[in-house]
């Protein structure tokens, strides 16, 4: 798979994502459901702690990708939902810490929402991955 960044402007790079990517040579694609801060039984964790929730949601995303034979380097699109966008952005260094070592900056949308499916959850991340 070959990825080519498309950035008519550079401002999004400072935020850790490309405006678009051209993906060539695709052989497999995985669409991941939204991952949140839940344990193996689906119980919410880190209530009231946006940083803790982002960290566990990313752990859970990595676990799903691993079971599909992929990792964060394969992520080609992210959808992020937060009940407090400002608080999520304060903790987005976690995104850079996870995706940075893979040298990818997948296109991303961040949306503020009133609530998520399970009360107490503050952050959810969904991904499309390709190989």
The token pair at 33 is 């459901």
Find the length of the chain.
131
The pTM score is 0.89
Domain that holds residue 110: 28-130
Please state, in angstroms and rounded to a whole number, the distance separating the CA atoms of residues 22 and 15: 19
pLDDT digits (tens, 9 = 90+) for 51-63: 999 999 999 999 9
Question: pLDDT tier at 27 (50, 70, 90 boundaries)?
Answer: confident
Predicted pLDDT at 104:
94
C-beta separation of 23 from 1 below 8 A: yes
Q: Which range, of 20-24, 39-43, 110-114, averages the lowest pLDDT?
A: 20-24
16 is a domain residue: no
Segment 32-59 shows an average pLDDT of: 97
In order of 62, 77, 107, 122, the CA distances from 112 in angstroms are 23, 18, 17, 10
Residues 103-107, mean pLDDT to the nearest whole number: 94
CATH classification of the domain holding 38: 3.30.1330.40
Residue 5 lies in a domain: no
Q: Would 17 be classed as within a structural domain? A: no
Confidence (pLDDT) at 40? 93
Give yes or no for a contact between 107 and 18, defined as CB atoms under 8 angstroms apart: yes
* Confidence (pLDDT) at 1: 83
| Number of separate domains in the chain | 1
| 12 within domain boundaries | no
- Is residue 116 one of the residues assigned to a domain? yes
> pLDDT band at 13, cuts 50/70/90?
confident
Instruction: Give the whole-angstrom CA distance, residue 22 versus residue 38.
Output: 33
């Amino acid at each position: 798979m070959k990825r080519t960044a498309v950035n008519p402007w550079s401002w999004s790079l400072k935020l850790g994502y490309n405006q678009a990517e051209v993906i060539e040579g695709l052989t497999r694609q995985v669409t991941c459901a939204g991952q949140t801060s839940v344990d193996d039984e689906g119980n919410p964790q880190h209530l009231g702690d946006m940083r803790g929730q982002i960290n566990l949601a990313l752990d859970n995303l990595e676990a799903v990708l691993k079971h599909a034979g992929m990792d964060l380097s394969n992520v080609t699109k992210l959808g992020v939902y937060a009940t407090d966008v400002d608080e999520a952005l304060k903790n987005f260094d976690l995104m850079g810490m996870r995706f940075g070592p893979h040298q990818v900056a997948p296109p991303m949308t961040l949306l503020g929402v009133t609530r998520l499916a399970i009360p107490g959850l503050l952050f959810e991340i969904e991904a499309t991955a390709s190989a």
